[in-house]
Every structure is written in C-alpha cells, then in structure tokens.
C-alpha cells in the first residue's frame, strides 16, 4: 500500500470508527462505511489538512470511495 493510501485509511478508521479491514479501495463512505453527509464533509477536510491540498466542493462530490480519494490525492500532490 502506498504511503498516501495508508494515511487515508488511518483517517477513515479514526473518523468513522470502522475496522481497518473494512477500508478497502472499493468501499463507499456512505454505503459501506456508515458515513452520513456530515461525516463525508469532515473526511474531505481531513484529507485537505493531512495532505495540504485543496479539494473544491464540485470535485469533492466525485469522491465517494476510498480508492477515489487516494487517486484524487495522488493526482493533486
């Protein structure tokens, strides 16, 4: 796992209180990991903070899974 992927995973485990092995690349924040709309906003903000990037709202809408988050961050770095 890339450094980015493991840091993303750590944030998700911390914020959503889920088990590490549930956080697969395909896992959807809302459908699989129990996030509601506020949780999702918080995750995006944590990614911004952790990786020192900006994720505009219109692009944040396209980040629905763990894998999509990792890809977005890798591209933004």
Phi, psi of 74 (to 5 degrees): -60, -40
Which of 8, 11, 16, 60 touches another protein (CB under 8 A)?
A: 16
- What's the rounded Cα separation, in Å, for the pair 57 and 34? 21
Query: In this structure, are residues 3 and 10 in contact, taking their beta carbons and an 8 Å threshold?
Result: no
Q: What are the catalytic residues? A: 36
- Interface with another protein includes 2 (CB under 8 A)? no
- With CB under 8 A as the contact rule, which of the stretches 10-18, 19-27, 55-63, 66-74 interacts with another protein? 10-18
Kindly list the residues in this chain that would bind another protein in the complex (CB under 8 A).
15-18, 34, 38, 41-42, 45, 48-49
């Amino acid at each position: 796992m890339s450094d980015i992927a493991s840091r993303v995973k750590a944030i998700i485990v911390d914020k959503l209180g889920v088990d590490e092995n549930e956080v697969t690349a395909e896992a959807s924040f809302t459908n699989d990991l129990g996030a509601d709309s506020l949780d999702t906003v918080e995750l995006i903000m944590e990614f911004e903070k952790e990786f020192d990037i900006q994720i505009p709202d219109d692009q944040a809408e396209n980040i629905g899974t763990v894998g999509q988050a990792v890809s977005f961050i890798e591209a933004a770095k």
